[in-house]
Structure 1
Amino acid sequence: MFRVRGDHAQAMSPALLATLPERFLAELREKGITAERDANNGAVVMTDTRGNKTSLLFTETGAPEATVFPSGARVSFEHDARGRLAGVALPSGERIEMGLDENGRLASLGYAGRPVHRFEHDEQGRLTRVAFPDETTTTFDYGTTSLERLTDRTGATTFYTRDEKAGRYAVRDALGRTTTLSAGPQGRLLEVGFADGTTQAYERDADGVLVSVRRRDGSVVQHERDLEGNFTSLRWADGSQTFLRTEEQGTLVIANATSTISIVRDASKRPVREETPIGAVGYEYDDDGRLTCVRTPWGDVVVYGYDADGRLSTVTDWANGITRIEYAPGGGIETIYYGGTLIERRQFARLGLVSSASVYDADGCLVSEQYYSYDTCDRLAGISDRWGPGVGEVDHRRLVLDAEGRLLAEIDAASERVRLEYDYDAKGNIVYDNGSTVHVGCMDEPLSHEGREVIYDPRGNVISLPTPSRREFECRWNEDGTLRETRVGDTRVEYTYDALGRRLSKCVGQSTWRYGWAAGQLLWEEWLSHPDASPIRRDYLYLPDGRPLAFREAGRTYWLQTDPRGAVIRAFDADGNVVWRARYDPFGTAKVEVSRIRQPLRLAGQYEDEETGLYYNLARYYCPWTKTYLSLDPCWLCPGASNYSYARNDPYNRVDPSGAFPWVVVGVLAVGALVGGGISVATEYFFGHGDLWAAFVGGAIEGFFTTAGALIGSVVPGLGTFWGGLIGGAIGTFFGTLVQGWMNGQGWCWECAFKGMVTSIFVDLLTFGLGKIPFVEKLLKKAADQLDDILKRLNIKPPKPDVTEPKPDVTEPKPDVTEPKPDVTEPKPDVTEPKPDVTEPKPDVPEPGAPGSPEHKAARWKEYQERGGEWSYERWSKTYDNNMQRATKAHEVADAYHQQLGWGEREVTVNVKEGVTRRLDIADEATKRGVEIKSGNQYATQDNLWEIERDAMLVKQGWDITWKFDGHASKPLLEELDKAGIPYTIGSP
């Protein structure tokens, strides 16, 4: 590789700078971007397909002077006397200052007027020391050719040794535990020796092609190929297989025994369809490559709009509700208008650091408010959360961190009482958990918690776990590392996954949950109370940074507020009422204080399973009470992988949205995050982008902070922040990089996929829009090219059709599963209609004018149009038919129970008080008896609460009201019935 030393670059600088504008212009045009020089000031002006213009201004010497965006926002570049970049002035008025040494290497970085980070290098330009604003340091010590010792900010040291001739390398951690690696010809990995004495071996053929992987427990994963040597599949130790093939026009097909996934790409190699057995997810883009539309398997559409600067400005949801987003001068999201009914306003302390967030309802009343404070290293240090005007309706907490950011204590800021405290070993594993000692094994696995043993299988998966209730908790695992089954007391839960490792189903007795995905994001879920039940669906909606924005259930949209680390803290209904509220302990256990609706989303990327208390985190399952994962980090070879702990035990400043790797989260643009990210990347470079052995082949750390371009390149993968899967190239990057981890038999590399995905999402934020400029874009590997390169190296051809097709009885869902249920999850034009006024089960052919008849349908369609409905007839018709089908089933259940009772009448309207009525499914006004029958999945929705309120009034008037559930009833709903004094039964009437 051609390299230019710092002093040579400085000598060449004037000549290079003078030609920069023209070279930049030529490169833009070469990439097909409309660009021209401004005759008046010499600026290079880029014009997008919508006519928006971005200008890059240059000084007289040719150095970049400023970037002016279509909105008028300006980022200015400052230079020292030698013409070198010395600072950046941001649209917010903030300034980041950079100091360079004599050789042009970064010597300092920080906010103007604040303590800075300082950097030192050796004579070879290698980074040797980073001094942080809190006076802690990270140091790098080198031998003749490579890094030998890394000492972190707490003084813990990791040692690296290498024997090039023997092809043997080792890493000894701060606890003295050693991991060894053996490499063959050309540095190809042959064996990893773990600290616990187990090994993982890689068998290769004469050409160095990987043939099989022998894992720690002795099981073998085979890489199968056809007679021509083309890769066809992975065969796991139990005989199951995962297949990968390409079809015409580059469609990627991935299959296992559960499902087949096809990723269809357009001529620009962008994914346009993700086809699964349930249906297809579609993606549409504008002429500038931005994602504009997502279509679900049910025909729902989510539309994204962008402002002149190319930032997301509107999200149009399933019901045509519009969420608007406005930005602060510094680039952070300042205001969110949730569907036109709620407003969230944010303020910022320093660059990228949210200092407050306030949510107001449609009347301007404050319904939620949080304040955040930070330490000198830009780490979250204090949180205040207010949920009401009263003295006791606010929580103040102060955080105490060690030098590496690990949480030592959480303190009640009002009383200075220590609420929680923790301690760690030199590796960063938690060994003291608020009064309980935790014993840790050689692989960082917790061996006991609260004096009770944690048991693992030979591959490091938990098979027996202590629980707070002291019930037996057992786990069973698939050969590909996915959790197959859990048993908690008498409750048995079974799980299935698609060919990408995403969870497809969760079965508990007769009930089943089904899940659908768009790349790495949960798009929808369905619940069936029993195999023949009609599914009840919920749809999820996200912001571009992956934070959940809303979900839809029973035709109603609920808006979600998240804190800086991405944890959902509030859910609001369309009227601005708080229907769910929780406070979390540092490691994610939720104390739910308002629960009028089920809300399973927890910390970033986590989904709580009520049956077990575990959080599904995509790549792994997280146990909030032990504060650890149930299995080894899939990216255990990557520097910074914490094996079992959550987010390096810095739960407020890092997140692990995929369950595979902790990322810095607080302060996307903050200087402290930039430096922390840069150091992580420097170490990762030594390790060779995730393969530990490549560290010793590739050499030592070089100057990562030499130029602004290198700084940006270092920051992006180090930050990572929150993952997203619904923004433009991020979708392609997700699928492309996901394949890489699979190639070495390690399973799907979720961390790699998400890291690539957030790169494409956040590059614009990190460079204030410079991601659209090619020389910055070149720092990133394009998703399409990356995917093609992977497939090319694998030399993949389609395997035999009869091998790759999954079993029909497994992959083909029942018709009632794949059919949408608009009366539950879509806006329902007919929901407000009264129940069909019939007392007998509907005949197969409805009478003219009866609900379900052509006449009734035509009349309802006319009424819908008169009300200004915007759906097409096809979509409305499907909704109507499904409503009628569901209403029929509900009536059949009520009719059957009515006959069983032998008293009362069906569909009786009762006067509750003047102007207020209540219609009961079965009632006898003479004896004041009534029954309300509910089928399917029932929650504490506004409709149900409305009915409970009126039934409570009837009970006070002497009525005997009973509710019958033919299906599931949520705990909050049953609690509301208990409060109202209304008895209920659950099960078939």
Structure 2
Amino acid sequence: MTDLDHNAKGQEIRRTEAVGQPEQRTTETDWYPGGTIKEIRAPGKTTRFTYTQGDGLGRLASRTEIDTTTHSAPYATQGLSRTWSYSYTYHDAPANLKVATVTVDGPRTDVNDITVQHVNPAGRIYRVEQQNGTGAPLVNEVTEFSAEGLPKTIVDPNGTVTQLAYTPRGWLKSRTVVTPQGSVTTTYAYDLVGQVTQVTLPTGTQLNYQYDAAHRLQAISTQDNERIEYELTAQGAHRIERILSSSGSLRRLVHQEFDDLGRLWKSFGVQDQVLETNQYDENGNLVRITDAYQQPILRAFDGLNRLRTQTERDTGATQYEYNAQDQLVSITDPNGLTTAWVVDGFGRKIQETSPDRGTTVYRYDLADNLIQKTDARNSVTKYSYDALNRLTEMQYPASAQDNVSLKYDETSLPTANGSIANKGKGRLTSAIVANGDKIQWAYDALGNITNDVRVQEGKTFQTTYTYNVAGQLATLTYPSGRELSYGYDNKGRIHQLRSRENSSKSWTTLANNLSYEPFGPLTGFTWGNGLTETLSYDTHYQPETIQTRSGSTDVRNLQYGFNLANELDHLTDAKTPARSQLFSYDPNGRLSQAQGQYGTLAYQYDLTGNRVSQAQTNASDGQNFTESYQYPANTHRLTQVNASGQGGQNRSFQYSAAGNLTQDERYTYVYNAANRLTQVLSGPAVIAEYRYNHLGERISKTIDGKTTQFIYGPNHQLLAEHHQDGSAIRDYVYLGNKLLAMVDADTTTNPDTGTKADLAITLKGATGNSVKQPDGRYQVTYKVNVQNAGGSAAENVVLTNTFPATDVNLVSYTASQGICTEDGSSCDLGTVSAGQTATVTLIASKGQKAKENFSASVTTSSEESNTDNNSATAAFGGAFGLWIMAFLTAMLSLRSLTAKRALNRKNTISTACLLLCGLSLMGANTSQAEQIYYVHTDHLNTPTLVTDQNKTVVWEGVRKPFGETEEVVNTVRQPIRFPGQYFDGETGLAYNLMRDYDARVGRYVQSDPIGLDGGINTYGYGYQNPVLNVDPDGEFGVPGLVMGATVNLVAQFGANLYVSHDFWRSVRCVDWLDVAVSGAMGFVSPGLIGNLIRGQAGPAGLTVAQMRYIYFTKTLPVGFALKKGLNYDLSKEGRCGSTEDECEGLGLGAAISSVTQW
């Protein structure tokens, strides 16, 4: 119940909510005699207002907020105040009736955070100036109005012109952005009552709209009559949604039922079974959600309608506590562990106490920008901002070389080839690290990124993008010089993708003839090597089949089935039936059992989702084991794994105060001030070193002095690997969020006719099976030394290790340099300099003491003076082993001789040799022209196999549910695992952008950097359902199923209609580029794809830099909203705002949003 008290004038002076209940709260309001508000006293905060004529008369002059909370820890909050000031000039002074300018001085006192709005005599805002604190203000200006006062021409800070045209009735007729490439125009058509009947996008795509007699949207169709049709309830809710192909066949069906108040009651599955049933209390709060198996989630609310308890289907209950301002102050998870926050009167979290991350303290400036963070390790990070509240510096007092300076508004980008024009005003243009690393971005008139120039380890890597007149990505040029070319169909969806090594080479088609479901995901295409890919879906656009064929022969045939709760029930491998899998789940949707080639795996969890046991039975290789997982009572940090049987692993873990893994049974892990893993140690020996940029991307890994550099695209996709000297190793090619191909660089070399390399292998130092392990097996260590005894460096050195064929498991390995595959069978050692020795140590286990041979061989792209010592063999067994040098056969000598004679006078490998020498050349020299490898992914976009230009399978991985991968074919290196993951053979972990993942225990080794925003379990992966969910950023799980444009479109429309209850606003607020492109790229959150194509996600604003390291709430200049908790909020992209005729974010609504704001 709420009590309202009023004064004699009928003005509310007191509001008491939840009367008589524990959460009762009171807000009081004082009024000036003239009827304006003087003061509002709410719990925790008082707000005061003054006016230009005093005593509440005139225009608003100031607004002051005062913190009235009484916190003393982590610091005192009471009495803190901040003020916004407003001043005016007039066209008609001294009458002061017509405002000429409005100047808003923000709350900060360290900068002039001033915005000036200019108003013409007709009362229309025509110019907005924003002081950035470093030079001329950013100016948005309307230079022309229509006779009716509607803006016709808008000029942004970069000089980009947007032209708006209207019908005689004042409805927007067209929006044209004038660019150097041409005009980008979107047009609108209406019926007689002003309903949008057609939108024509810059791509030429047409969307047509039909309505019923009540002016409610009934159908959307394209120019070739692909349709979305709606059946509506009496209240206008979408009861049935159908998607039809151009021939009229049903492709997608969504069925929902609503109660008499228009609230969602039931949702239905593919078989029209009830997926969920919702129940509400008398206040409209959702209190019960019952699934297809009649298992309920129960939710309880307090007198202020705030969620207080949620009881999951396994009876685990999460409890929520709030302060009087409705701010969360604690969450107690089902295990009884509490995360608590101290929140000041301005609603800012100033301290977090977490059972996993420890205590973190936050300090803010008067504009709510985070200016200092001190984590549980007492590691301090400081932040600075310009007058527009854009992040300008990140400082690490304990590690000054990592300090980052961010710059904005630069209008040129200097490069080695000259300066590049940059439409950079209002955008992030440079990120400069004190150690010399930096990233610079250039933009076009539409805000698309045109150049991404990165300096890493003193080397420069430039990625360039061009766009067609509609703003779609047309070409991408890698730092290596490789070019990609994108072709689109008449709906703006990718139809073809081509590649060439550089601008002087001919094009190679990577994917062609792409087809799609209507308003939906990809259905098929032809690979560049001639293989065909066919994907089919059920009527919820869930995958049914993924089939790869060579002619009529299956290369891969995966078939999917779902249970009544829409959980993945089975994955049938029709080509290799032994690899088929069955899945079962607990009541909370967590994977509880999996059956496959690996046998039966059973998982158990505690109430918060921590794995407490893993058991493998019925394993074909006899590796049956049980593992139990141990956690302290006061945290979710895994500390011990105890194994019994064969194949399990005994593990131990220690953590820092901030929740980062610092020690396990193998290594010590070292972190920087930003909680990123920077070093891995084995005793005093450095196993690996890692470096990151300010976006959280890992830009290099160094093993034994050899560095691999990584280059990323604007949405954190790994684009390329390069050597330390800048030379290319590999480029990665994507089709949306799907890894499509890997292209290895041309490694053809010009051998030195003088000094040559001379590689020799020795095997020694085995400890054999003298120590019996707890699992009953015997352990042996192989130490492989690859020594270059020649006078010249050996380039592209590859070590191949061959284990006995049966009953041998690799436990771990370390390499002094380079990268090894997950099973240790192949190691890319890079360059071995003259006189240098590279060492690889492999630890394996075997069930019996019987001796069997282990062998190793090495190749290089450089010419060798002697190849007779490139192989060695050792016997598996004995306390110290019997090591025997194995010289190459006469065939190997013949290979070397043949290859040497095949060199032409220019000391390059001749075409004749490439055609005639065959295996002889391959044995002597692994130099090669660029190699294109096609990556075939599953429903999660996780690679399952790789084929070459000859359609040969060159990599194939068999994966356990949580990502443990056996490489059954590994002719080429393929390090990508789950989406966003890069496997590190040196540790057995997978780098996952913001964290590192350990597939062996199915969890991250660091606590989630976004805390509980990523889920109640801050170490878990994909909510413990890795066959359905993925976590590309290492922060929170999302559905991995490809959903296509329909999800995107429906999500935007649904949100807009829900907010505005007005279709016109919903249509114009949709980001149509987002919809069009997402059909080609699979399911992505609404708004993201359009921004990626425009270059307005990631580095285009303050997005990732702030999202990753800063807790604060901001809506950035590019419209990308962030929310507290190291999280980003895409919910405003292409959405309607809460006020009349307002759109938030980007897309078609952006210009209209600007119109309404003038």
The equivalent of 2:406 in structure 1 is 244
Residues 723 and 597 of structure 1: is their aligned pair in 2 closer, same or farther, counting only changes over 3 Å?
farther
Q: Tell me how far 1:593 sits from its aligned partner.
A: 0.7
Amino acid at match of 1:523: L
Q: Is 1:268 the counterpart of 2:450 in the alignment?
A: no
Does the CA-based 8 Å contact 2:521-2:1045 persist in structure 1? no
Equivalent residue number for residue 395 of structure 1? 579
Task: Quote the Cα distance in structure 1 between the aligned partners of 2:689 and 2:966.
Answer: 27
Q: Secondary structure at the match of 1:648?
A: helix
**RMSD across aligned positions (CA):** 4.5
Residues 732, 784 of structure 1: 8 Å contact kept: no
Alignment of 1:944-955 (within 5 A): none
Deviation at 1:46, TM superposition (A): 2.1
C-alpha change, 1:674 and 1:42, in structure 2 (3 Å) is: closer
More moved, 77-86 vs 101-110: 77-86
How far off is 1:206 after superposition? 6.2
Residue 242 (structure 1) shift:
1.9
2:677 maps to 483
Residue of structure 1 equivalent to 2:516: 327
**CA, structure 1 residues 379+63, in 2 after alignment: closer, same or farther (shift >3 Å)?**
same
C-alpha contact 1:109 1:671 (8 A) present in aligned 2: no
How far apart are the structure 2 equivalents of 1:481 and 1:632?
Answer: 10
How far the C-alpha of 1:493 sits from its partner, in A, is: 0.9
Equivalent of 2:226, from 48, 61, 73? 73
Q: Secondary structure at the match of 1:394?
A: helix
Counterparts of 1:599-638 in structure 2, within 5 Å, are: 599-638=974-1013
Change (3 A) 1:349 1:310: same
User: Which is greater in Rg?
Assistant: 2
Question: Could you tell me which amino acid in structure 2 is paired with residue 383 of structure 1?
Answer: L
Q: Is 1:422 paired with 2:603? A: yes
- Which of 106, 109, 118 is the matching residue for 2:277? 118
Say yes or no: does 1:255 pair with 2:432.
Answer: yes
Aligned to 1:569: 944
Distance 1:574 1:409 in 2: 38
User: What are the superposed Cα offsets for residues 363-418 of structure 1, whole Å, 9 maximum, x if unpaired?
Assistant: 44221111111111222111122555xxxx631211111122211111249xxx95
Q: Which residue of the other structure, out of 573, 576, 592, is the alignment partner of 2:967?
A: 592
Task: Decide which structure has greater helix share.
Answer: 1
CA contact (8 A) 2:991 2:997 kept: yes
Q: Which amino acid in the other structure matches residue 1031 of structure 2?
A: D
**Which residue number in structure 1 is paired with residue 565 of structure 2?**
377
1:182 to 342, 348, 353: 342
Alignment match of 1:494 (pick from 678, 689, 692)? 689
Which residues in structure 2 correspond to 1:770-849 (within 5 Å)? 781-782=1145-1146
What is residue 732 of structure 1 aligned with on the other side?
A: 1096
Cα distance between partner residues in 2 of 1:730 and 1:229: 23
Contact 2:1122 2:1128 in 1 (8 A): no
For the structure 1 residues 203 and 511, does the alpha-carbon distance in structure 2 shift closer, same or farther, using more than 3 Å as the test? Answer: closer
Q: Structure 1 residues 40, 304: closer, same or farther in 2, change over 3 A?
A: farther
Conserved in 2, the CA contact under 8 Å of 1:664 and 1:673? no
Find out whether 1:152 has 2:330 as its counterpart: no
Please tell me whether residue 541 in structure 1 is matched to residue 718 in structure 2.
no
Q: Is the 8 A contact 2:738 2:937 kept in 1?
A: no
Which runs of 5 or more structure 2 residues have no equivalent in the other structure?
A: 1-165, 177-184, 411-423, 502-506, 616-625, 643-649, 747-929, 1114-1120, 1154-1158
> Is residue 270–residue 539 contact of structure 2 (8 Å, CA) maintained in 1?
no
Map residues 137-536 of structure 1 onto 2, 5 A cutoff: 137-145=296-304, 146-164=306-324, 169-195=329-355, 198-204=358-364, 210-224=370-384, 232-240=392-400, 241-248=403-410, 249-250=424-425, 251-252=427-428, 253-256=430-433, 257-277=435-455, 278-318=460-500, 320-322=507-509, 323-324=511-512, 325-329=514-518, 331-339=520-528, 341-361=530-550, 363-387=551-575, 394-412=578-596, 419-434=600-615, 435-441=626-632, 442-450=634-642, 451-466=650-665, 472-488=666-682, 492-519=687-714, 520-527=716-723, 535-536=727-728
Q: Quick check: 1:170–1:179 contact (8 Å CA) kept in 2?
A: yes
The answer to whether residue 1107 in structure 2 is matched with residue 741 in structure 1 is yes
Change (3 A) 1:705 1:387: farther
Contact 2:381–2:673 (8 Å) recurs in 1: no
Rounded Cα–Cα distance in structure 1 between residues aligned with 2:281 and 2:210 = 35
Q: CA deviation at 1:432?
A: 0.9
Q: Give, in angstroms, the shift of residue 193 of structure 1.
A: 1.9
How far off is 1:729 after superposition?
3.9
Tell me how far 1:190 sits from its aligned partner. Answer: 1.7
The equivalent residue for 1:103 is 261
Of 734-743 and 496-505, deviating more is 734-743
How far, CA to CA, are the matches of 1:516 and 1:744 in structure 2? 24
- Paired residue type of 2:629: V
Note if contact 1:374-1:382 (Cα within 8 Å) is conserved in structure 2.
yes
Structure 2 Cα separation of the partners of residues 526 and 114 of structure 1:
52
Aligned counterpart, 2:206: 53
How far is the alpha carbon of 1:121 from its aligned partner? 2.5
State the TM-score, normalized to the length of structure 1. 0.65
Residue deviations 1:626-661 (CA, integer Å, cap 9, x gap): 222221111114152631121121100100111111
The letter of the residue matching 1:543 is L
After TM superposition, give the deviation of residue 617 of structure 1 in Å.
1.0
SS in 1 for 2:695: coil
- 1:509 to 1:177, Cα distance in 2 relative to 1, 3 A: same
Q: 1:656·1:663 contact (CA, 8 Å) conserved in 2? A: yes
Q: Of 287, 290, 295, which residue of structure 2 is paired with 1:131?
A: 290
Sort the Cα spacing of 1:604 and 1:98 in 2 relative to 1 into closer, same or farther, 3 A: same
Letter in 2 for 1:431: V
Asked if 1 retains the 8 angstrom alpha-carbon contact of 2:679 and 2:686, the reply is no
Looking at structure 2, the residues matched to 745 and 40 of structure 1 have their Cα atoms a distance apart, in angstroms, of 46
User: Partners of 1:673 and 1:586 in 2: how far apart?
Assistant: 28
- Structure with more strand by fraction: 2
Q: What is the distance in 1 between the residues matched to 2:204 and 2:328? A: 58
Distance apart, 1:330 and its partner CA: 6.5
Q: Is the 8 A contact 1:635 1:641 kept in 2?
A: no
- Assess if the C-alpha contact under 8 Å between 2:1060 and 2:1138 holds in 1: no
Say if 1:628 and 1:645, in contact at 8 Å, map to a contact too.
yes
> Aligned-pair distance for 1:580?
0.8
C-alpha distance in 2, partners of 1:482/1:727?
Answer: 27
Distance 1:316 1:205, change over 3 A: closer
Q: Is the 8 A contact 2:1048 2:1085 kept in 1?
A: no
Q: Within 5 A, what are the aligned runs for 1:958-969? A: none
Q: In structure 2, how many angstroms separate the alpha carbons of the residues matched to 1:751 and 1:333? A: 35
Indicate how the Cα distance of structure 1 residues 595 and 726 shifts in structure 2: closer, same or farther if over 3 A, else same: farther
Return the offset for 1:359.
Answer: 0.9
Any conservation in 2 of the 1:409–1:418 contact (CA below 8 Å)?
no
CA drift of 1:752 comes to: 9.6
Distance (Å, rounded) in 2 between the aligned partners of 1:289 and 1:227 = 31
- 2:353 alignment partner AA: G
Secondary structure in 2 matching 1:86: strand
Q: Which residue in the other structure is 2:4 paired with? A: none
CA distance in 2, matches of 1:674, 1:734: 22
Separation (CA, whole Å) in 2 of partners of 1:229 and 1:67: 41
- The equivalent residue for 1:987 is none
Match of 1:26 among 147, 168, 171: 171
Deviation, 1:542, is 0.5
1:665 is the counterpart of 2:853:
no
Shift of 1:559: 0.6
SS in 1 for 2:546: strand
